[in-house]
């Protein structure tokens, strides 16, 4: 029996996803608002009992989820060069843009919100600027994790690079779990369905 190469091999390419959590490497950045992308992919991997290992331009964890393979990365390039790691792993794994999901902090959203989008501008976020610079497109899905903007005028950098307030931590724990659900739904149910299910939810204690 002859096997058609294209029909037999094609499904395997369609089961690969790249989940990129943005952040900065180094202990001084752990637990900061800007590193929430790292925290979400850490939780995603730990739920599956998978550990990150150091690899090219990133820490990498490979997860099998409902018949699909998720390559999770935490870029080791620092935030401003995140695009280098994203581009490398997209090309290495031959993953199409619609199966890339970037997880990033967003001061334009309140702490109670997560928002999944299929595309969008960088809105001044240096990690997203770097990804645009490398990919030359903003047509890829991203999960925006609201960190709020409760900072005095001129203190945006300190807010973004600051650690969560003690009173926010219980909510962050719940929200991180919700963010992992969004990632899993994106992979299993698709972009549109997941946007409809999660974008309007208010996450509260």
CB-CB contact of 75 with 22 (8 Å): yes
With cut-offs at 50, 70 and 90, classify the pLDDT of residue 14.
low
CATH of domain 14-198: 3.40.50.1470
**Roughly how many angstroms between the first and final C-alpha of the chain, as a whole number?**
59
pTM over 0.95: no
Torsional sign, CA 151, 153, 154, 156: positive
Which one of 6, 14, 34, 125 is the catalytic residue? 34
How far, in whole angstroms, is CA 10 from its chain's centroid?
26
Q: What pLDDT was estimated at residue 174?
A: 98
Res. 11 pLDDT band, cuts 50 70 90: very low
Q: For residue 135, what pLDDT band results from cuts at 50, 70 and 90?
A: very high
Nearest alpha carbon to residue 155 among 201, 101, 107, 200: 107
Task: Give the CA diameter of the chain.
Answer: 71
- Decide: 50 and 62 in contact? Cβ < 8 Å: yes
Residue 156 host element (H or E):
helix 156-160
Mean pLDDT of the chain: 93
| 72 neighbors 44 (Cβ within 8 angstroms) | yes
Active site residue 6: no
Q: Please report, for the chain, the start and end positions of each structural domain, with discontinuous segments joined by +.
A: 14-198
């Amino acid at each position: 029996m002859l096997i058609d190469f294209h029909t037999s091999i094609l499904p395997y390419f369609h089961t690969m996803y790249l989940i990129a959590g943005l952040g900065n490497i180094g202990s001084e950045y752990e637990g900061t608002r800007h590193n929430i992308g790292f925290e979400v992919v850490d939780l995603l991997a730990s739920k599956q009992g998978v550990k990150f290992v150091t690899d090219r331009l990133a820490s990498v964890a490979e997860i099998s989820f409902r018949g699909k393979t998720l390559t999770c990365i935490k870029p080791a390039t620092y935030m401003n060069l995140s695009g280098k790691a994203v581009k490398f792993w997209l090309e290495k794994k031959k993953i199409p843009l619609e199966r890339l999901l970037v997880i990033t902090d967003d001061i334009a959203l309140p702490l109670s919100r997560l928002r999944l989008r299929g595309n969008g501008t960088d809105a001044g976020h240096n990690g997203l600027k770097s990804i645009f610079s490398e990919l030359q497109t903003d047509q890829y899905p991203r999960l925006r994790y609201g960190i709020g903007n409760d900072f005095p005028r001129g203190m945006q950098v300190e807010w973004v690079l600051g650690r969560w307030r003690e009173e926010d931590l219980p909510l962050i724990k719940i929200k991180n779990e919700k963010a992992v659900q969004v990632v899993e739904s994106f992979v299993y149910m698709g972009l549109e369905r997941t946007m409809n299910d999660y974008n309007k939810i208010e996450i509260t204690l």
